[in-house]
Structure 1
Amino acid sequence: MVSVSDSFDIDASPEQVMRALEDVEHIPDWSSAHKRVEVLSRYDDGRPRRVRMTLSLFGFSDTVTVEHQWTGHSTSWSLVESSMQRSQDGEYAVEPSGDGTRVHVTMSLDPKVPVPGFVLRRGQKHAVEAIRKGLTGFVYSHYT
Structure 2
Amino acid sequence: MADTSTQSIQVQAPLDQVAAVICDFPRYPEWADAVKRVEVLEEYEDGYAAQVRFVIDAGPLSDDYALEYAYAEDLSRIEWHLVAPSKMQKTLNGSYDLTDDGAGATTVTYSLEVELSIGMLGMLKRKAEKMIMDTALKELKRRVESLGKA
Task: Give the Å deviation of 1:118.
Answer: 4.3
2-side partners of 1:75 and 1:132: how far apart?
A: 14
The 5 Å alignment of 1:1-144 reads 1-71=2-72, 72=74, 73-81=76-84, 82-99=86-103, 100-143=105-148
Distance in 2 between the 1:42 and 1:63 partners? 19
Letter in 1 for 2:121: P
Q: What is the CA distance between 1:58 and its match in structure 2? A: 4.3
After superposition, give the CA deviation of every residue in 1:40-79 in whole Å (9 maximum; x if it has no partner). 1111111111000012234021101110001121110010
> Which whole-Å deviations, capped at 9, do the CAs of 1:60-110 have from their partners, x for residues lacking one?
211011100011211100101212211110000101113211111100111
Pairwise CA distance, 1:2? 3.0
Q: Percent identity?
A: 28
- Deviation of 1:133 (Å): 1.5
Kindly indicate whether the alpha-carbon contact (under 8 Å) linking 1:94 and 1:104 is maintained by their aligned counterparts in 2: yes
Cα pair 1:35 1:56 within 8 Å, conserved: yes
8 Å Cα contact 1:35/1:54 also seen in 2: yes
The structure with more strand, counted as a fraction of residues? 1
Code of the residue aligned with 2:48 in structure 1: it is R
Gaps of 5+ in 1: none
Tell me the SS of whatever aligns to 1:114: coil
Cα distance between partner residues in 2 of 1:110 and 1:98: 36
Amino acid at match of 2:68: E
TM score, norm. by length of structure 1: 0.91
Gaps of at least 5 residues in structure 2 are none
Q: Take 2:71 and 2:115, find their aligned partners in 1: how far apart are those partners?
A: 23
Bigger drift between 60-69 and 128-137 goes to 128-137
Q: Is the 8 A contact 1:10 1:103 kept in 2?
A: yes
